[in-house]
């Protein structure tokens, strides 16, 4: 039976041969997941059950499944979020949305704000914000029933069940107004580009959460038509966008009656979050 150190070395070598660009990190995370502990003693001999789990994890990673999907959970904003086949992984770049919203709400963080998250997925954006806004409540909507159930489970995991609800819905249909903050990380990849995405995304992320229509702007057109009527006085909208989509999304929102308030860049320096308010 190998030690943790030996298993990590062997697994990293196998992942390098399979083309992984993060083989060392992947190996560490998968070993931690197999033993159920962070930073296990490198000289510890892997128990038989942990070794069996690790072999299964390794085969899935070599086949292209992302590490966090294998482990079934990923941290976002310092909070744990469980994944399902119907949700995207929470990614660090999307924390830009949370940061932008909190900066814009700096003077209102103690108010009983009403939040709406469209295309909620794991619920990470909404739950992260509620963790920072102690008097706020929220509603999360997703096209997928499974995703909305996953988000509800994540709210329970993070102790926020009493301040948030999630449900399946077709974007803004059936909603009434009065929201102080509307946020969304919608599908924004053009349909024709889906087939060319990496295997990790193409074969493991839900297409429903990726495909933004012919030009990737389908959800934003819906938002431009419907969000102004859902905002409370002084309300804000914060979107995530894809690379190069800023000018088009800004034009759509302005045509719908929203005023552009600025943007925020992600960790890689790319424009990631757009902020709007009623004109």
CATH no. for residue 231?
A: 3.40.50.150
Residue 195 DSSP label: G
* Structural domain count, the chain: 2
- Domain assignment present for residue 43? The answer is yes
Instruction: Supply the range of the domain harboring residue 230.
Output: 82-278
What CATH number is associated with residue 52? 1.10.8
pLDDT tens for each residue of the chain, 279 residues long: 899 999 999 999 999 999 999 999 999 999 999 999 999 999 999 999 999 999 999 999 999 999 999 999 999 999 999 999 999 999 999 999 999 999 999 999 999 999 999 999 999 999 999 999 999 999 999 999 999 999 999 999 999 999 999 999 999 999 998 999 999 999 999 999 999 999 899 999 999 999 999 999 999 999 999 999 999 999 999 999 999 999 999 999 999 999 999 999 999 999 999 999 998
State the Cα–Cα distance between residues 58 and 78, nearest whole angstrom. Answer: 26
Q: Tell me, yes or no, whether 40 and 177 share the same domain.
A: no
Strands 73-76 and 79-82: antiparallel
Question: Is residue 25 located within the same domain as residue 151?
Answer: no
Same-domain pairing of 86 and 194: yes
Place of tokens 């790319």: 270
Q: How far apart are CA 240 and CA 124, in angstroms?
A: 13
């Amino acid at each position: 039976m190998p030690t943790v150190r030996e298993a990590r070395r062997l697994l990293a070598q196998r992942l390098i041969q399979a083309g992984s660009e993060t083989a060392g990190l992947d190996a560490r995370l998968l070993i931690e997941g197999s033993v159920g502990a962070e930073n296990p003693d490198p000289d510890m001999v892997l128990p038989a059950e942990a070794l069996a789990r690790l072999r299964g994890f390794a085969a899935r990673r070599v086949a292209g499944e992302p590490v966090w999907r294998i482990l079934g959970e990923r941290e976002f904003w310092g909070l744990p979020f469980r994944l399902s086949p119907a949700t995207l992984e929470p990614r660090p770049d999307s924390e830009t949305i949370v940061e932008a919203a909190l900066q814009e709400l700096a003077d209102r963080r103690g108010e009983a704000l009403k939040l709406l998250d469209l295309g909620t997925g794991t619920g990470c954006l909404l739950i992260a914000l509620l963790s920072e806004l102690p008097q706020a409540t929220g509603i999360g909507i997703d096209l997928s029933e499974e995703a909305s159930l996953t988000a509800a489970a994540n709210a329970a995991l993070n102790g926020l069940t009493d301040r948030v609800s999630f449900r399946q819905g077709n974007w803004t249909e059936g909603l009434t107004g009065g929201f102080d903050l509307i946020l969304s990380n919608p599908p924004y990849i053009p349909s024709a580009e889906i087939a060319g995405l990496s295997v990790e995304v193409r074969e493991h992320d839900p297409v429903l959460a990726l495909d933004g229509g012919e030009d990737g702007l389908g959800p934003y057109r819906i938002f431009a038509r419907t969000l102004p009527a859902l905002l409370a006085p002084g309300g804000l909208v914060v979107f995530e966008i894809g690379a190069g989509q800023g000018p088009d999304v800004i034009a759509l929102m302005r045509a719908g009656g929203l005023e552009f308030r600025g943007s925020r860049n992600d960790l890689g320096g790319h424009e990631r979050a757009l902020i709007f308010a009623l004109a």
